Amino acid sequence: MNTVEPIEKWKFIFLDTSVIIDLLLDAKKFDKNIPVQNRINDTKKLFKYFNDSNIYSKKQYVFYVSAITVSELTAKLDNDLILVLLKLFSSGDLTFVDFTKDIALTITNDIKNYLPNHSYNQFISRLKKELKDDNSAFSKRSWIIDDLKIASSAKSLKQLDVVLTADKKTFSPICLQLNLPFVETSNLPKDLFDEISTKHFQ
C-alpha cells in the first residue's frame, strides 16, 4: 500500500528523472497534449510552493537525485547540469545519491522481498509491455533497469518522505513493488479551486 504524508509535512524528497525533465520543459509547447501540459504546470506549482515555504517559513528541504539520473540528464542537456539543478532546487539542499555496490545488492534483496510471486525477469517483462507504444530509440530493458537502480537508490535512504515521479508506466509500479512512498505528479492532490492541496491527499 502506498501511504504518503500531506505535502506540508514533506522535507526529504527524492526526485525521479521524469520530474526534473518536466521542470525544465515549457508547458506552452504542449497545447496539443493537455494532460502533459497540466502535469508540467502542476509540477512547477509544487516547486513554487517549496520555494515559497523556504522564503516565508524558512522551511529547508532536502532533495535527493540519483547518480543514474545525473547520467541520464547529462546525455540530454547541453547546459552545465549541476548549475541547472542547483538553481532548480534552491529552496533546499541538493544531495546526489551514488549508485553503490550496496545499492546494487539491495535491488536483488528487494526483488526477493517484494516480488515473492514473480521472478525478476517476469517483472521486467511486465514493465516492458507498458512501454510497447513508446517509439523512442532506446532499450526498454535498459530503461527499466535504470528505473530499478534509481528506485533502489531511494530505498537506501534513511530519511525519505516521498518519491516524486511523472513516469506512470514503469517507475510507479517499481516504487509500489519496492514499498516506497511515491506520488505521481499527474495526480497531485487538488482543492476545490483546482490548486494543489498541501494539507491532505484525496
Query: Given this model, what pLDDT does residue 120 score?
Result: 59
In this prediction the pTM is 0.83
CA 89 to CA 25: how far, in whole Å?
15
pLDDT tens-digit profile of 67-86?
888 887 876 665 677 777 87
Strand-pairing partners, residue 94, are 63
pLDDT tens-digit profile of 29-71?
999 999 999 999 999 999 999 999 999 998 999 999 998 888 8
- Domains of the chain, each with CATH number or no CATH: 9-187 (3.40.50.1010)
Helix (H) or strand (E) run with residue 68 in it: helix 67-76
Is the pLDDT score of 184 beyond 60? yes
Which of the four pLDDT bands, split at 50, 70 and 90, describes residue 2? confident
Query: What does 79-145 look like in DSSP terms, one character per residue?
Result: S-HHHHHHHHTTTEEEEEE---HHHHHHHHHHHHHH-TTS-HHHHHHHHHHHTTT---SS-HHHHHH
Query: Given this model, what pLDDT does residue 49 score?
Result: 94
**164 φ, ψ to 5°?**
-100, 135
Which of the pair, 84 or 97, is modelled with greater confidence? 97
Which of the pair, 17 or 118, is modelled with greater confidence? 17
Helix axes 67-76, 140-155, angle to 10 degrees: 140
Provide mean pLDDT across the span 90-105. 78
Query: Given this model, what pLDDT does residue 149 score?
Result: 85
Query: Given this model, what pLDDT does residue 181 score?
Result: 95
Could you give the C-alpha distances from 63 to 34, 39, 104, 162, 200, in angstroms and in order?
28, 20, 21, 10, 21
Half-sphere exposure of 30 (CA within 13 A, CB side): 13
CA 145 to CA 121: how far, in whole Å?
11
CA 38 to CA 190: how far, in whole Å?
12
Is the pLDDT score of 154 beyond 80? yes
Helix axes 17-24, 34-56, angle to 10 degrees: 90
CA 49 to CA 38: how far, in whole Å?
16
